[in-house]
Structure 1
Amino acid sequence: MDSSTDNDIEMAPVPTAHLANDIVTDFAWRQMQVTVKDRQSGKPKNILSDVAGLVEAGDMLAIMGPSGSGKTTLLNALAHRVAAAGAHTTGQILTNGQKSNMTMIRDLSAYVEQDDALIGSITVKETMMFAARLSLPSNVTRKEAMRRVDDLISSFGLQEQAHTVVGTPIKKGLSGGQKKRLGVASRLVTNPKILFLDEPTSGLDSALSAEVIRYIKDIAKRNKLVVISSIHQPSTTTYQLFDKLALLSMGETCYFGPVNDAPDYFHRIGYHMPAATNPAEFFLDLINIDLDKNGEVRERTRDVIEQWKKSPERAALDAEIEKAVTTPSKTDLSKLKLPKPSPWMVPVTLLHRSWIKAYRDVVAYEIRIVMYLGLAILMGTVFLRLKSSQEYIQPFINAIFFGGAFMSFMAVAYVPAFLEDLQTFHMERANGLVGPLAFNVSNFLIGLPFLFLITVIFSVVEYWLTGFRANGSAFMMYLLWLFLDLLAAESLVVLVTSIFPIFVVALAITAFANGLWMVVDGFLVPMNILNAFWKYVFHYIDYQAYVFQGMMVNELKDRDYTCPQTPGGGYQCMYAGPLNSEGKMRGVDILKQFNIETGLEGTWVGIMIGIIFGYRLLAYLALRLKK
């Protein structure tokens, strides 16, 4: 479709009565107050005080103010999100004059984060389609969803990039402005009537900022959206695209009203804006207490706040809000029963998206496959063709230990890929689209084939080069233990990263945990001499211990080793056993020295599955408890 026709394209409405274009006529708030505990005094501290405003359908509101003025706090409070850590929010939020609750706002609105978590390895059209499938009700047909997606892509000028990936650190994709547009478009796919934008132009130059806001304004006007956006230091062009301005400082209102009326208002209260000045810069400089050196700016800002409280504009605003309350819409928004996607659609969609991401994302699996293949070649050539004589016993045991331990240790490479998934989950969860259970289940299931492929590639190379038992069933058991090892290691990564979603912290804690498991798994210090504390507190929950034991039994229980002959004609055997007189040692005699029993493999497999499930359950609970 030619881009010249963009302005004639309208978003195809979702065929649901509650999403008629006039369902939201206005959105208002009054007496908004957000209180936190002061870190120094421990007393309550207002970070937002007595804030009021009203935005009509089709209008765009810019929330402006210097850093720390309360822009994002107000935006989050209006969207019924956590306004700030440990905050208590009070006040009235009204839609069509009716008191709004979190369920109503979530159903009627969409929230676009400052750094919207787009998945870099999927295309623009796929991003839109997945957003549609996660949020559109079950009565919307695939054809209708596709039409809506195509219309939105056209409306935001992304037709030529429809089949372009968003972009990863390795593969270039969309520009910054295109990503911002895609982030907004993906939230509009459900035809929300209220759109919250947190710094939609951050990281963009003035031209791209104006471009993004212009697209949003066009959509808002044609579809009668209420758009509320926090914005920092906009250019003159970008600023003038907004209809209304909410100017904040020190958590209080300095001005609320039409953008074009703001210069006259400030001139009237004694603050004249020079000609050829960017209004946004003038207003922000006027009330930016960060630049205060002698108290002058703070005193001036306090004067601006007090004059606003006494102004006829504030009185008119209060009257407008009161009128909306006394003459509410006939439609009771609180009783709307909004259709949802089918219960199975969310996990199926997450699985589909994760599958595409997994096989395209070089960082998630391709680099890891190369890493594990390199490790297999390294180990296979170091422990090359070990024989069944006594001097090769320790190298065999070393090869068993290092194979399992380093396979699990290298799972830390999954941290960056899971962090990207986690950011997407948090964004979608905040918009009411995805829950922690569906996210965890899809993440686990989609990893199974890739982890099995890694296990096969490593085992085929390392097992036969090293010279482990040349037996098909023994090889399959080795494969099983390594697969369970990788599953447990990746589940540990998921758990740690869910609790500590910071790259360096997650990497350090996961590496430390794997180092701990190596130390207490029974190889470096045999179980019969391992300190009781480490044995009873950590060894029995160490998945590497069960992998090591399982691999040892698999290799040694049905194998004999030869002992060197002494000059006197006898044999010198390292491990005592009934075959020493024949110059042989049984593998089970070696196992006894490590306190490893045979016949418990089924129990160990069950414990491994329990540990994997436990890690995943704890990860689910960690996400469930996080708001």
Structure 2
Amino acid sequence: MSGKPGATSEQITLTDIDVEQRGHDNSYLENQIVQSLSWKNVTVVVPDRETKQPKEILSAINGEVAAGEMLAIMGPSGCGKTTLLNVLAQREASAKAKVSATVCINGQTPPDSAFRRLSSYVEADDALIGSLTVKETLSFAAKLSLSGVVTATERIRRVDELLQSFGLMNQANILIGTLVRKGISTGQKRRLSVAAQLISAPKILFLDEPTSGLDSAASYKVMSYVRNVAKKNKLIVIASIHQPATKTFELFDKLLLLSGGKTCYSGSIADVKPYFDKIGFEMPVQTNPADFVLDLTNIDFESDGDVAQGKIAQLQEAWASSPTALDEKARIAAEYNSTSEPLTLASEPMHRRYMTATLILLHRSFIKSHRDVVVYGIRFGMYLGLAIMMGTVWLRLVPIQSNMQPFTNCIMFGSCFMSFMAVVYVPAFLEDRMVCIKERANGMYGTTAFLLSNFLIGLPYLFIIAFVSSTFTYWMTNFRPDGQAFMVWVMWMYLNLVAAESLVVLMSCLFPNFVGALALTAMANGIWMACDGFMVQLPALNPFYRYVFSYIDYQAYVFGGLVVNEFGYRIYKCAETPDGCWCQWDTPLKSQCLIEGVAVLNQYGYRLGETSKHVGITLGIIFGMRLMGWAAMQWRK
């Protein structure tokens, strides 16, 4: 198309991936060239929210895009733009949707794994890790996409060129932004999201509202760069876009206009005005074609509903019976019936394999963990303050009978409160999960690598928290003065924190929104506290709660382990009375006015010699919650 902006050769080379650059993996795409993406009879049916009857939100949509072309999907809100984009990208169209569609590359239907390796998707929401800098975000995207495919020098070159081309060079070392630290603007986040997907040189790029949050100048520059890359590298670009400026609209080669779930136009940008003039909807001169077609197809604010619906029906029927639509339909059918070579790809390249992705994610999580105070910093300060508070409230308790209950209360309060306050981790994990969903859908890594790296990165931090907080609580309170006993205390507190974080991960995977995850984690902690053997001793606990909750309650094993550690090996002095002494429990040392702490264990239903068994059960509970979190993420895939 004449008159459209060009690009420098330096910019264009960004996404060139030739055989030499791929090194040992030069069979990555074998001899495949993506010539076209086409689809026919895309129909999506969902249950109506009110009547629960089937409702078509997309009906028999056809279309095709050739390599090097950009297609704009437009239409009023609710017309099905994002749904169609999801169907074309082999993603879930909508909740409870029934999809009927044929989507092909070069006239062939590729397997999902091949399709994902050829395509990238930029979502409308910018799922980014706020504690990384702009440059780090692109660098990790390059590592996850290109490690083992291109050299480290080539990855660095691509990152620098993308920063320059998307106007982010001045923000390269600025954090994206967290809950407590301001970062880059919304528009800059949008540009970064697009750049992060271009770095892997996909053959098909899906963009959901790529210009949202951008002013007209920034929108034009971003889409101009995407167009330059598409033309040079024969990249197919399909974007849902809302009300672009004239210059931005003219960057596209084709338009697919939807309204009411049906096609109102599908063809070249240059033919938009002639087509609508021909069917009786003349476009005024000096009018932005994008504004014109959106005004034409948007009937939400029409006063006469019947007239408005009639206009939309007229537009849909005019297109369905037009020679252009019939030719397109016949051309797509012929392409599907062709005998072109099936699309095949080589085996997964090394950089996509499990351990490499896990190590890269560990590195990224490490940066986040020490930069973002929401992850572990707030919890460290909170637990340290709690430890000092507990040490001063239960300060220097002497081992006498009247202090046996305060010792128990301290154990209960400290273990349960540390578990409960793990909910602070919810927002940090949800941010990571959103990024994982986006990157997993683009084929960068899987759920296992994400959850394994998430688990491993927390272990040293949680141990530091457990050790430092225990140092204050244990010795200030005057629990059993023995070094080995102190380390047993630290071990149980550590397992407590690891289990509590695993509970947060599970609930956040099941209900991935802040309020839902927070509420369910708090509710689960309430159940564990009630059934851990302190409020009601295990022998007296209602059988339902004992057999349904108590045996899978990690807090019960933590509480029991700490109680055994304190009372199983310590002797307390009985209360002195004018008549001698009074011992609350009858133990063999009663004659010496002493009580063996084992009496407390008998009251709570605990026995000595079961520490190893209970540690094993607690580890099993932790593993079980992590496994269920993995299953939940797979289920919500």
Normalised by the shorter chain, which TM-score bucket? over 0.9
Residue 342 of structure 2 corresponds to residue 339 of structure 1: no
In 1, Cα distance between the equivalents of 2:464 and 2:36?
55
Partner residue of 2:41 out of 31, 43, 59: 31
Q: Which residue of 2 aligns with 1:11?
A: 14
In 2, Cα distance between the equivalents of 1:287 and 1:496?
43
In 2, Cα distance between the equivalents of 1:154 and 1:65?
32
Instruction: Check whether the contact 2:43–2:56 (CA below 8 A) recurs between aligned residues.
Output: yes
In 2, Cα distance between the equivalents of 1:65 and 1:208?
22
Q: Which residue of 2 aligns with 1:202?
A: 212
SS in 2 for 1:613: helix
SS in 2 for 1:110: strand
Q: Which residue of 2 aligns with 1:387?
A: 398
Q: Deviations over 1:118-156 (max 9, x none)?
A: 111112222222222222263433233333333333332
CA drift of 1:233 comes to 2.5
Q: Which residue of 1 aligns with 2:238?
A: 228
CA drift of 1:534 comes to 1.6
> Which one is further off, 245-254 or 88-97?
88-97
> Which one is further off, 153-162 or 520-529?
153-162
CA drift of 1:392 comes to 1.6
Code of the aligned partner of 1:57: A
Residue 310 of structure 2 corresponds to residue 289 of structure 1: no
**Alpha carbons of structure 1 residues 138 and 503: separation in structure 2 relative to 1, 3 Å:** same
Instruction: Check whether the contact 2:69–2:236 (CA below 8 A) recurs between aligned residues.
Output: yes
Code of the aligned partner of 1:165: L
Code of the aligned partner of 1:36: V
What stretches of structure 1 of length at least 5 have no aligned partner? none
In 2, Cα distance between the equivalents of 1:51 and 1:80?
15
In 2, Cα distance between the equivalents of 1:298 and 1:20?
50
> Which one is further off, 231-240 or 110-119?
231-240
Partner residue of 1:551 out of 559, 562, 572: 562
Residue 617 of structure 2 corresponds to residue 607 of structure 1: yes
CA drift of 1:52 comes to 1.5
**Alpha carbons of structure 1 residues 531 and 139: separation in structure 2 relative to 1, 3 Å:** same
Partner residue of 1:458 out of 448, 457, 469: 469
Q: Deviations over 1:182-224 (max 9, x none)?
A: 2112112221111000111223343433333233223222322
Q: Which residue of 1 aligns with 2:153?
A: 143
CA drift of 1:260 comes to 3.0
CA drift of 1:563 comes to 1.9
**TM-score, normalised on structure 2?**
0.92
SS in 1 for 2:472: helix
Code of the aligned partner of 2:540: I
Q: Which residue of 1 aligns with 2:90?
A: 80
Instruction: Give the length in aligned residue pairs.
Output: 622
Instruction: Check whether the contact 2:354–2:449 (CA below 8 A) recurs between aligned residues.
Output: no
In 1, Cα distance between the equivalents of 2:148 and 2:164?
24
Partner residue of 2:192 out of 140, 163, 182: 182
Q: Which residue of 2 aligns with 1:160?
A: 170
Instruction: Check whether the contact 1:481–1:550 (CA below 8 A) recurs between aligned residues.
Output: yes
Residue 315 of structure 2 corresponds to residue 315 of structure 1: no
What stretches of structure 2 of length at least 5 have no aligned partner? 1-6
Instruction: Check whether the contact 2:12–2:229 (CA below 8 A) recurs between aligned residues.
Output: no
Instruction: Check whether the contact 1:80–1:101 (CA below 8 A) recurs between aligned residues.
Output: no
Residue 223 of structure 2 corresponds to residue 213 of structure 1: yes
SS in 2 for 1:170: coil
Residue 289 of structure 2 corresponds to residue 279 of structure 1: yes
In 2, Cα distance between the equivalents of 1:396 and 1:343?
47
Residue 424 of structure 2 corresponds to residue 413 of structure 1: yes
Q: Which residue of 1 aligns with 2:179?
A: 169
Code of the aligned partner of 2:232: R
Instruction: Check whether the contact 1:469–1:555 (CA below 8 A) recurs between aligned residues.
Output: yes
Instruction: Check whether the contact 2:58–2:262 (CA below 8 A) recurs between aligned residues.
Output: yes
**Alpha carbons of structure 1 residues 22 and 450: separation in structure 2 relative to 1, 3 Å:** same
RMSD between aligned alpha carbons? Answer: 2.3
CA drift of 1:19 comes to 5.5
Instruction: Check whether the contact 2:12–2:232 (CA below 8 A) recurs between aligned residues.
Output: no
Q: Deviations over 1:480-509 (max 9, x none)?
A: 000000011110111111001011011011
**Alpha carbons of structure 1 residues 328 and 232: separation in structure 2 relative to 1, 3 Å:** farther
Residue 533 of structure 2 corresponds to residue 515 of structure 1: no
SS in 1 for 2:154: helix
Q: Which residue of 2 aligns with 1:535?
A: 546
**Alpha carbons of structure 1 residues 12 and 262: separation in structure 2 relative to 1, 3 Å:** closer
> Which one is further off, 509-518 or 586-595?
586-595
Partner residue of 2:202 out of 192, 207, 214: 192
Code of the aligned partner of 2:344: S
Q: Deviations over 1:335-367 (max 9, x none)?
A: 555635244211111111111111111111111
Q: Deviations over 1:314-350 (max 9, x none)?
A: 2343354356556676x64235556352442111111
SS in 2 for 1:98: coil
In 2, Cα distance between the equivalents of 1:220 and 1:523?
66
In 2, Cα distance between the equivalents of 1:17 and 1:160?
38
Partner residue of 1:504 out of 499, 515, 539: 515
| Equivalence map 1:105-120=2 (5 Å) | 105-120=115-130
Q: Which residue of 2 aligns with 1:130?
A: 140
Instruction: Check whether the contact 2:246–2:289 (CA below 8 A) recurs between aligned residues.
Output: yes
Code of the aligned partner of 1:160: N
> Which one is further off, 546-555 or 93-102?
93-102
**Alpha carbons of structure 1 residues 174 and 158: separation in structure 2 relative to 1, 3 Å:** same
In 1, Cα distance between the equivalents of 2:27 and 2:179?
43
Instruction: Check whether the contact 1:51–1:252 (CA below 8 A) recurs between aligned residues.
Output: yes
Code of the aligned partner of 1:280: A
SS in 2 for 1:577: coil
> Which one is further off, 590-599 or 84-93?
84-93
Q: Which residue of 2 aligns with 1:564?
A: 575
In 2, Cα distance between the equivalents of 1:291 and 1:404?
58
Q: Which residue of 1 aligns with 2:487?
A: 476
Instruction: Check whether the contact 1:571–1:581 (CA below 8 A) recurs between aligned residues.
Output: no
Instruction: Check whether the contact 1:9–1:155 (CA below 8 A) recurs between aligned residues.
Output: no
In 2, Cα distance between the equivalents of 1:29 and 1:473?
68
Residue 370 of structure 2 corresponds to residue 367 of structure 1: no
Instruction: Check whether the contact 2:27–2:346 (CA below 8 A) recurs between aligned residues.
Output: no
In 1, Cα distance between the equivalents of 2:358 and 2:13?
31
Residue 305 of structure 2 corresponds to residue 302 of structure 1: no
Code of the aligned partner of 2:417: F
**Alpha carbons of structure 1 residues 64 and 539: separation in structure 2 relative to 1, 3 Å:** same
Instruction: Check whether the contact 2:563–2:601 (CA below 8 A) recurs between aligned residues.
Output: yes
> Which one is further off, 152-161 or 242-251?
152-161
Residue 433 of structure 2 corresponds to residue 422 of structure 1: yes
CA drift of 1:9 comes to 5.2
SS in 2 for 1:66: coil
In 1, Cα distance between the equivalents of 2:609 and 2:495?
18
**Alpha carbons of structure 1 residues 522 and 223: separation in structure 2 relative to 1, 3 Å:** same
In 2, Cα distance between the equivalents of 1:396 and 1:169?
38
Q: Which residue of 1 aligns with 2:626?
A: 616
CA drift of 1:572 comes to 1.6
Residue 505 of structure 2 corresponds to residue 494 of structure 1: yes
Residue 362 of structure 2 corresponds to residue 351 of structure 1: yes
In 1, Cα distance between the equivalents of 2:425 and 2:309?
49
SS in 2 for 1:10: helix
Q: Which residue of 1 aligns with 2:253?
A: 243
Instruction: Check whether the contact 1:13–1:148 (CA below 8 A) recurs between aligned residues.
Output: no
CA drift of 1:390 comes to 2.1
Q: Deviations over 1:415-434 (max 9, x none)?
A: 10110111011111111222
CA drift of 1:17 comes to 5.9
Instruction: Check whether the contact 2:29–2:346 (CA below 8 A) recurs between aligned residues.
Output: no
